[in-house]
Structure 1
Amino acid sequence: MPTSSSRPRARVSKANDSDRYRGIRRRRPPPGRSLAIFSALLLAATGVFAGLVGPPLVDRLTADEQSVAAAGPEPSVDVTPLATPSAQPSVTASPQPPPLLRESGPVPRSGQDSFEFAPGLGKVAGHAGTLRRYRVATENGSGQDAEKFAEVVEQTLSDPRSWTGSGQLRLQRVPGGANYDFTVYLATGSTAGRMCAAGGTDIRIDGEPYTSCRTPGKVIINLSRWMLSVDHMVKAKVPLDVYRLYVINHETGHQLGHGHEQCPGKGRPAPVMQQQTLFLSGCTVNPWPYLDGERYEGAPV
């Protein structure tokens, strides 16, 4: 009987594991699947890292976007479309005060029958013709300042629509002590009445000194008219300043040799030498002797 040592032994292969699987085809995963697996692993690793350093960003930002985000939010911009001119809200201008038609308060009916003359020498108005000098004065006790009254008179007579518009006359205001051709006075009604009567003109209506006048060398403006205008102009809402222009030009026109004139037609401007203080006769108020550079006048009375 053979011994155990004489039994044939089983042959043991010394091949390694790779030889064990030799002949078996290895399968490679498709490229897309590999990329997906790689991406999943990368995202998982990123999530773990981000969990350690802070909360993950919701969106992936470019380098430019990251710099904008780091700078903070942009200031807000109003993108409301501009309205068309018709859609813009209307702006209401502040209402202008109504023109002064007459002064308020009592008007002195009499003064001291003496006058204060405005100082100073005015500029020559007009470019050619005879030079005539005039003084300006206000009655003491009238409450009127001589210099302020002189400013209005000088501005009126220096306007090219006034009498120098003829091109044949020059006018200049002079102080009280200078040589002069005539004087423009602002006098209370009582004093104006006496001064006019002394020169042969009765300015009374219903016994009251009402209008202004001119006597040789004297243009006399009635303070009552200067302050209160006249009823028909107040009713027509003619500004007091317009009446003042008229009365200066009208009475100075008499001093320069012009007589009264008539209204040339209904609706037309009244000639400055029309007696606008008393009536308009269908004309409209006009304070100037020259309109559009031409002498404007009506038929003589």
Structure 2
Amino acid sequence: MLAVGAAVAVVADWRGADVGAEVLTAEEMASRPALGSVSAAPVTPTPSTSASTSPPSVLRLTGPVPSRGRGDFGYDDRTGPVLGETGTLRRYRVAVEDGSGEDAGEFATAVGKALAGPGSWVDGGLRLQQVGADARHDFTVYLATPATAGRMCAVGGVDIRVGGRPYTSCRAPGKVIINLERWRLSVPHYVSGRVPLSVYRTYVVNHEVGHQLGHRHERCPGKGRPAPVMMQQTLFLNGCVANPWPYRDGRRYAGPPL
């Protein structure tokens, strides 16, 4: 359970998974920047195509999202299991901004689940492990309020603003910075396509960690096909369908370079 906000109502309507019935209102949609084309048919949330009964999922969380925090971070100080079986071991820390209303341990669990797969980067001959705040590490995954995320990304040379306000997440050197607003609200085309929030969260973690691992943006390979994880799915789908995984059926899934 997240520390802020309540889950929206759910209905069973998403390829075997229960999904949230709530969508953005017309007023909410009007307040959002134009973010490109929408696909109404998301892919399954895991590389497997088999249907299963899963716990209810939500499209977005209700309640206010803090626009700014204190600018400092609390760390989840646990050491996690090694994810992946072979390859270079890269260690990461997990931190949540004070004043965000989120719990560092819960965020770390969600990050670890996204990076564990199946379908994550560890399927490609790489190992990842969460370590404590003071341990030797290769990068840190931050959950930051929009204002703080905007500042941190700008220092790293990335402008995350859309319509004049911090909107996306980013990767700066040694820092994977997840925007709290996106973490709680997803994006309009995911919500209108009834893609669960958990799928968006998995996508945004794998996308930004993908940048940390040296991968660049990619394009939609064709209408109706899964979107590559390195496609800017936060901004658009361009005819592709939502996909949170860099590997599908055990193979690296990529699109044309941007």
TM-score with structure 1 length normalisation?
0.67
1:209-246 Cα distance to aligned partner (Å, 9 max, x none): 00000000000000000000111111111110100000
Matching of residue 186 in structure 1 with residue 113 in structure 2? no
Residue 117 (1) aligns with residue 75 (2): yes
Higher helix share: 1
Q: What value does the CA root-mean-square deviation take over the aligned residues?
A: 1.2
Alignment pair present for 1:145 and 2:103: yes
Percent identical across equivalent pairs?
63
Q: Contact 1:125 / 1:172 at 8 angstroms: preserved in 2?
A: yes
- Give 2:161's match in structure 1, choosing from 197, 204, 213: 204
Structure 2 residue aligned with 1:174? 131
Structure 2 portions without partners, runs of 5+? 1-10, 13-17, 21-56
Larger RCO, structure (CA 8 Å, separation 6 or more): 2
Contact 2:19-2:194 at 8 Å conserved across structures? no
Q: Does the 8 Å CA contact 1:118/1:147 hold for their aligned counterparts?
A: yes
- Structure 1 contact 111–139 (Cα < 8 Å) conserved: yes
Query: In the alignment, which residue of structure 2 is the partner of 1:133?
Result: 91
Instruction: Determine if the alignment matches structure 1 residue 214 to structure 2 residue 162.
Output: no
| Counterpart code for 1:227 | R
2:237 to 277, 280, 283: 280
Specify whether residues 170 and 97 from structure 1 end up closer, same or farther in structure 2 by C-alpha distance, changes over 3 A only: closer
AA at the equivalent of 1:294: R
**For residue 61 of structure 1, what is the aligned residue in structure 2?**
none
**Residue 160 of structure 1: how far off its partner (Å):** 3.0
**Residue in 2 that maps onto 1:86:** none
Q: Does the CA-based 8 Å contact 1:213-1:220 persist in structure 2?
A: yes
CA distance in 2, matches of 1:290, 1:267: 18
Structure 1 gaps of 5+ residues are: 1-93
Helix, strand or coil at the partner of 1:183? strand
Looking at structure 2, the residues matched to 171 and 233 of structure 1 have their Cα atoms a distance apart, in angstroms, of: 28
Q: Which amino acid aligns with 2:94?
A: V
Tell me which residue corresponds to 1:263: 220
Of structures 1 and 2, the larger Rg is shown by 1
Aligned-residue offset at 1:158: 1.5
Provide runs of 4+ in structure 1 moved above 4 Å: 94-97
Q: Deviations over 1:107-136 (max 9, x none)?
A: 000000000000111011111111000000
- The one-letter code of the counterpart of 2:63 is G
d(CA) in 1 for partners of 2:195, 2:186: 9
